[in-house]
Amino acid sequence: MPAGPIAGLPRRPRQAMFVVVVFALVGPAAARAEADEAPGAAAGDRPIRVAVAPIAAVAEWKGDHPVGAMVDIWNDLATRLGRSTEYVRVGKFIDEIAAVTDGSADVALGPLAITTAWERQVDLTHPVVHSGLRIAVRERRDTGLLAAFQGLPVRQLAGLVAAVLALAVFSGHLLWWFERGTNPGSFPERYPGGVWEAVWWIASTVVTGGCDNKHVASLLGRAIAFTWMVGGIVLAAAFTGVLTASMTAERVTGSIRGARDLPGRVVGCQEQSVIVPLLRERGAIPREYARMDDAIAGLQAGEVEAVVSENQQLQTLIGRPDRRDIMLVGPIFETFDYGMGLRTGSPLREPLNAVILQAREDGTLDEIMARWFGRHE
């Protein structure tokens, strides 16, 4: 006996009935999924889910709603798209990427540096921000000769001292040769005693401006003496200037004054960001923090010697009253375009890129950044 209501039907009608049933079950779900992510979806359709991690001034949570420069930029873009937004709260910057890749969010707000490393994980939009990296250090209060000498360029200074000594020995030989016959009282005729006295006279002249128990009698000897008198003044002034500048710089910024001083230093940065490999390439030792606030706190506590992050973010972080001991040093040393992240192959990419270009061309992006961070070169 037939076991079911369609068992007695001919084979072809049964196949047709099966197709109808499958389409009835699967078709509406597929249609809903397609409508959810259709590029031209209207404002009444499913909101775009945007993952937001707390990043100072860029995107911070105030109660149930995020605020910040990137949030304002997204709100403008969503309005241009005609879509509503559902913000997804995540704990760390890297969690934005995870939320996009596992499908719990449609957009990683970022901002993400547009690099091949990020492009391997997510699709990146057109740039919304252009900025660069800067260094923050703790203002130093120690002074003294030890701090000053620690900051001097030792290799260059040693080379200069060696050159001056070689020139003094050479000049001492010339001075002794010109003076030995006519002035044996000051420069004995015997070698090397006479040369030693000539070198001693030169050293005394450089340091004190003269040597009381010796005098120069010959014309050529006096020419050498005059050269060293003038040269001594120049050398003393140059050394004093370098030492004073070093003492001042050491007191204010320590020994890190730019990207060239990063090799061998422990530097705080955002975990798993593009900054980590850049610091390693420069010879620094990166220490990663989940939040940049924690990195600044680590700098104040002496855990790291400097913090490297995006310029405008650092300006905001150190602008707080409890961080007056933190300052920026050196110029911007790396620049990046920053965008947002989407799931690979997301249909949002093209319409989102289109409205980003519109916002850039009409000046909206620059206006929003200037409102939050002021205008910068």
**Per CATH, domain 256-335 is 1.10.3720.10:** no
Question: Residue range 268-272: average pLDDT?
Answer: 90
Look up tokens 């910057």; give the residue.
Answer: 93
Question: Residue range 293-302: average pLDDT?
Answer: 92
Tell me the pLDDT band of 3, cut-offs 50, 70 and 90.
very low
State the Cα–Cα distance between residues 12 and 22, nearest whole angstrom. 16
117-122: long-range contacts, CB 8 A cutoff, minimum separation 24:
117/274, 117/277, 118/274, 118/341, 121/97, 121/341, 122/97, 122/341, 122/342, 122/343, 122/344
Torsion of CA 166, 170, 176, 178, to 10 degrees: -150
176 phi and psi angles, rounded to 5 deg: -60, -40
pLDDT at 234 over 50: yes
Q: What is the CATH number of domain 145-253?
A: 1.10.287.70
Q: Does 143 or 288 have the greater pLDDT score?
A: 288
Tell me the pLDDT band of 27, cut-offs 50, 70 and 90.
very low
Q: From the CB of residue 316, how many other CB atoms can be counted at a distance below 10 Å?
A: 19
Instruction: Write down the pTM of the prediction.
Output: 0.57
**Could you tell me if 309 and 292 are in contact, meaning their C-beta atoms sit under 8 angstroms apart?**
yes
Report the chain's mean pLDDT, rounded to a whole number. 78
pLDDT at 145 over 80: no
pLDDT at 266 over 70: yes
**Residue range(s) in the chain whose domain bears CATH number 3.40.190.10:** 41-130+337-373, 256-335
As a whole-number percent, the residues of the chain with pLDDT over 90 amount to 37
**Range from 9-13, 149-153, 255-259, 285-289 that averages highest in pLDDT:** 285-289
Token digits for 81?
Answer: 């798209």
Q: Does 215 or 203 have the greater pLDDT score?
A: 203
Q: What's the confidence (pLDDT) of residue 254?
A: 54
Tell me the pLDDT band of 43, cut-offs 50, 70 and 90.
very low
**Could you tell me if 343 and 122 are in contact, meaning their C-beta atoms sit under 8 angstroms apart?**
yes
Question: Residue range 321-349: average pLDDT?
Answer: 91
89-103, 112-126, 156-170, 290-304: range with lowest mean pLDDT = 156-170
Question: Residue range 45-69: average pLDDT?
Answer: 89
Tell me the pLDDT band of 199, cut-offs 50, 70 and 90.
confident
Question: Residue range 218-234: average pLDDT?
Answer: 71
Q: What's the confidence (pLDDT) of residue 136?
A: 94
Decide which of 3.90.1150.150, 3.40.190.10, 3.40.50.720, 3.40.50.2300 is the CATH code for 41-130+337-373.
3.40.190.10
**Residue range(s) in the chain whose domain bears CATH number 1.10.287.70:** 145-253
